[in-house]
Amino acid sequence: MKEEIVNLDNCAREPIHIPGAIQPHGVLLVLEELDLKVVQVSENIHDFVDATPEQCEAEGLRAFLDAEQIGRLQRAFAISDPREGNPVQLQLSSKKNGLLLDGVVHRHDGFCVLELEPNAPPNTHYFRDFYKTVSAATNRLQIAAKLSEVLEAAAEELRTICGFDRVMIYRFSASGEGEVVAESKVEGAEPYLGLWYPASDIPEQARRLYLLTPIRVIPEVPYTPVQLVPVINPVSQRPTDLSYTSLRSVSPIHCEYLVNMGVSASMSVSIVREGKLWGLVSCHHFSPRFIPFETRNACLFLGQVLSGEITRREVEAEAAFSAQAIGLEAKLLELMAASPNPLLGLVTGSPNLLDLIPCGGAAVVTGDKFQAVGITPSLEDTRALVRSLREAHVPATFTTRSIRNHYDASRDVLETASGVIALKVKTDPESYVLFFRPEVAQTVHWGGDPTKPAMMSDDGFRLSPRKSFAVWKEKVEGTSAPWSANEIRVADELRKLIIAVTAKRNLVA
């Protein structure tokens, strides 16, 4: 047999938005937009509304709904925005067996989609207490002093509301990996707090779906997927896009992943900041667990509050950093004006460059002059670095957290300057302002083997979820802590100010 090269693209290309099947705890119908004619229906519909797929095809919605309810459906579809998925909720009941159903409708890709699940009977006292619980949880998030306390409170409050055995707050890094930054769990459960998970665990197409459907539930793992009838949409002649559905059957790789973790039910709530996926609330239960609509809505609401609080706290922190930077830049410009060599004034006075941007060391190289503060590479190594950057024609504001990707750096350089911000501020003599961050000699605790080993299947090699969730340790070498967007912006502002000051001084001279 020809050996096949296996890489993470196999997993990343999985068409998870068109599985042709749903989870078995509900029923799904695909309808034409104009007349709500049934195009596809999940083959388990008889279990919910006492009608067969054949009856639905022949009679349409009249097979299990009366005229008044069909009218309500038409009005619900009318206010659903097909550009956003925009689900609309309503309650229906089967005219044959009287079963009360929770319904969600949305329009997408030229079709109307109806999802139905059994309704959990309301309890007045329960929902009154439930409202108090959600209100108290919201208040706790809003008054928490620090972002870490917000995340911890969110994990605890969401576990109180939904009753899962474990609730984790999972944050994505800029490079795609994720870290468990908060956790609430039952006593005796293995702690996952602080574990990192490779970017391949949640590939790009999965992240897109987390943005489109901000809450997802899997009441029982494993399960047997329920096929749509017919599997191929007879109108579009292609699989129906189920991106916006909550019943969509999930990837079998993801189900296997959960089984390997000992998880029998899960729920996720997306954490979104400025239209981008910041992270996830990931909920696990060690036995099957169905979460009714009202509880899901409460969790979704709290997830939205959490997203807002994260955004607010991070924006406030960024604003405080910017305000401090403005004041420091003004003082640095004063020191430049008072120094015989303006550029050297950036590192010889107080404050200096180390106060502006958090780093291990900083240096100014202007012609044959060199002045440093903090821990930096040697004069010889710094000049070699500048020469390499110049020959590579890097941008005037250049940033990296791994200089070895751009320069054949020695071990000494990596230890002190794996991360670099290089500002070209003058041409004659050629002058640079440099910020250095040391190598992060940290141990990352991976939640399993980040290499995701391949396994043999009947049709060849495939990527498989990791079989062991023991902590793996991976040494991060030649890489610094990342430079934030705010830090890079402040550095670029400094470069422009230096150029303006030195140009003005040359004119006066």
Q: Average the pLDDT over each of 9-18, 196-205, 288-297, 339-348 and give the range with the smallest value.
A: 9-18
Q: Average the pLDDT over each of 159-173, 192-206, 406-420, 450-464 and give the range with the smallest value.
A: 450-464
The string of pLDDT tens digits covering residues 436-494 is 999 987 778 888 877 766 665 554 555 566 666 678 777 778 889 889 989 999 999 99
Separation between Cα atoms, residue 430 and residue 284, nearest integer Å: 58
Confidence of residue 204 (pLDDT cuts 50, 70, 90): confident
- Which pLDDT score, from 0 to 100, does residue 3 have? 39
The string of pLDDT tens digits covering residues 29-43 is 999 988 999 999 999
Separation between Cα atoms, residue 416 and residue 436, nearest integer Å: 7
Separation between Cα atoms, residue 126 and residue 212, nearest integer Å: 31
How far apart, in Å, are the Cα atoms of 492 and each of 402, 472, 484?
19, 38, 12
Is the pTM above the cut of 0.75? yes
Q: Which secondary structure element, helix H or strand E, spans residue 262, and what is its range?
A: none
- Which pLDDT score, from 0 to 100, does residue 219 have? 97
- Which pLDDT score, from 0 to 100, does residue 87 have? 80
Q: Average the pLDDT over each of 6-15, 215-224, 310-319, 340-349 and give the range with the smallest value.
A: 6-15
For 384, the 3-state DSSP assignment is helix
Residue 235 has pLDDT above 50, yes or no: yes
Burial 443-470 (b: 16+ CB within 10 A, else e): ebbbbbebebebeeeeeeeebbbbeebe
Q: Say how many CA atoms lie within 13 Å of 136 toward its Cβ.
A: 11
Cα three-residue angle 500-504-509, rounded to 5 degrees: 150
Q: In the beta sheet, which residues pair with residue 115?
A: 28, 104
Confidence of residue 99 (pLDDT cuts 50, 70, 90): confident
Residue 4 has pLDDT above 50, yes or no: no
Task: Tell me the mean pLDDT in the region 218-243.
Answer: 95
Task: Tell me the mean pLDDT in the region 331-355.
Answer: 89
Q: Average the pLDDT over each of 32-46, 56-70, 383-397, 451-465 and give the range with the smallest value.
A: 451-465
Task: Spell out the residues 6+ positions from residue 49 whose beta carbon is closer than 8 angstroms to its own.
Answer: 27, 63, 64, 94, 96, 97, 99, 101, 116
Question: Of 417, 434, 429, 433, whose CA–CA distance to 478 is shortest?
Answer: 417
The string of pLDDT tens digits covering residues 117-140 is 988 765 555 556 778 888 999 999
- Which pLDDT score, from 0 to 100, does residue 7 have? 42
- Which pLDDT score, from 0 to 100, does residue 509 have? 42
Residue 9 has pLDDT above 80, yes or no: no
Torsion (CA) 272, 276, 281, 282 in degrees, nearest 10? 160
Separation between Cα atoms, residue 392 and residue 204, nearest integer Å: 32
Q: Which residue has the tokens 């096949």?
A: 4
Residue 508 has pLDDT above 60, yes or no: no
The string of pLDDT tens digits covering residues 145-163 is 999 999 999 999 999 999 9
Residue 350 has pLDDT above 80, yes or no: yes
Write down the mean pLDDT value for the chain. Answer: 88
What letter would DSSP give residue 109? T
Cα three-residue angle 18-19-23, rounded to 5 degrees: 125
- Which pLDDT score, from 0 to 100, does residue 422 have? 97
Please, what are the domains in the chain? 17-118 (3.30.450.20), 339-440+479-508 (3.30.450.270)
Separation between Cα atoms, residue 260 and residue 252, nearest integer Å: 12
The string of pLDDT tens digits covering residues 81-91 is 766 666 888 88
Question: Of 354, 351, 332, whose CA–CA distance to 343 is shortest?
Answer: 332
Residue 506 has pLDDT above 70, yes or no: no
- Which pLDDT score, from 0 to 100, does residue 401 have? 92
Q: Are 286 and 263 in contact (CB under 8 A)?
A: yes
Higher local confidence (pLDDT), 22 or 455: 22
Torsion (CA) 112, 40, 100, 255 in degrees, nearest 10? -100
The string of pLDDT tens digits covering residues 279-309 is 999 999 999 999 988 899 899 999 999 999 9
How far apart, in Å, are the Cα atoms of 277 and each of 155, 200, 210, 280, 449?
18, 15, 8, 8, 24
